[in-house]
Amino acid sequence: MNDKDIRAVLVNYLLAQNGDLRIYHEKAIGESICDIMAVSSCLTGYEIKSNLDSFTRLERQVNAYNRYFDRCYLVIGESHRKRTSDKIPAHWGLICIQNRKTASAALSVRFIVVEMALGAYKTQTK
């Protein structure tokens, strides 16, 4: 999945979870750019790494996000799933976007998998 695909699934998922959420795209935070900023009772930043992206700038981005946001998430394409969790701090969430034929989302303490199909989402706790 590319950035555009991941961004669309993520935004739809976030709005399905909380309709009162305000979402902003590509906002400057210090010397970095936040891919998705969500505003509700707290400020949440989402850094997207599609299947085509590298992690070259991630350390700098993590430092910037930590200064500006109450909560931070790295949002990845499925190809990054096995090699990502050691690249972010323990207090960050990790969201993997997958494209499947059935709609489901698995939720655990650190790892959220969002699978999108037919515009529906289903959350299961592991």
Query: What is the predicted pLDDT for the residue at 80?
Result: 81
Q: Report pLDDT digits (tens) over 84-121.
A: 778 888 888 888 887 654 444 433 334 455 544 434 44
- For residue 80, the tally of other CB atoms under 10 A from its CB is 20
Closest CA relative to residue 50, chosen from 98, 6, 11, 113: 6
Domain residue limits, the chain: 3-125
Q: Using a cut of 0.95, tell me whether the model's pTM lies above it.
A: no
Tell me the CATH number for domain 3-125. 3.40.1350
pLDDT higher than threshold 90 for residue 59: yes
